[in-house]
Amino acid sequence: MMRALAIGGFLTALLLFAAVEWFARREGSRIPALGDLCAYVMRYEVGSVPVGRIGLFGFWWWLGWHLLAR
């Protein structure tokens, strides 16, 4: 029962990611695509340090290591 709840919850989240991306790619959408959102986050800098870029790269690196190497 609890396992089905977890599977359903994660599937719902993945479907929501796909749905929001689909709406974002429609003509005249007010929602930015995920790539644009990431690009905006990666613009964030503190002084000359690209904090947003380092943070997003670090998160994606960790995610790949966590799922594919562990």
Partner 1 sequence: MEHPRELTVEAPRSWDRPVVSVPVLICLSLVGGQLPSFSAQANLYTLGTGGALIWLGLGNRVPRRPAPGRLRPGAVWWLLPVTVFGVFEGVTFVLSVGDEFPTFSRLADPLLEDDLVRSTAWFAWLAAFWGLVRR
Residue 31: other Cβ atoms inside 10 A: 14
Least separation in angstroms between CB 26 and partner 1: 11
Does the protein bind partner 1 through residue 51 (CB under 8 A)? no
Residue 29 Cα distances to 15, 20, 42, 63, 70, angstroms: 19, 11, 22, 29, 39
33 and 24 in contact (C-beta within 8 Å)?
Answer: yes
Pick one of 22, 30, 45, 55: the residue that binds partner 1 (CB under 8 A).
30
Does the protein bind partner 1 through residue 70 (CB under 8 A)? yes
Least separation in angstroms between CB 43 and partner 1: 5
Does the protein bind partner 1 through residue 22 (CB under 8 A)? no
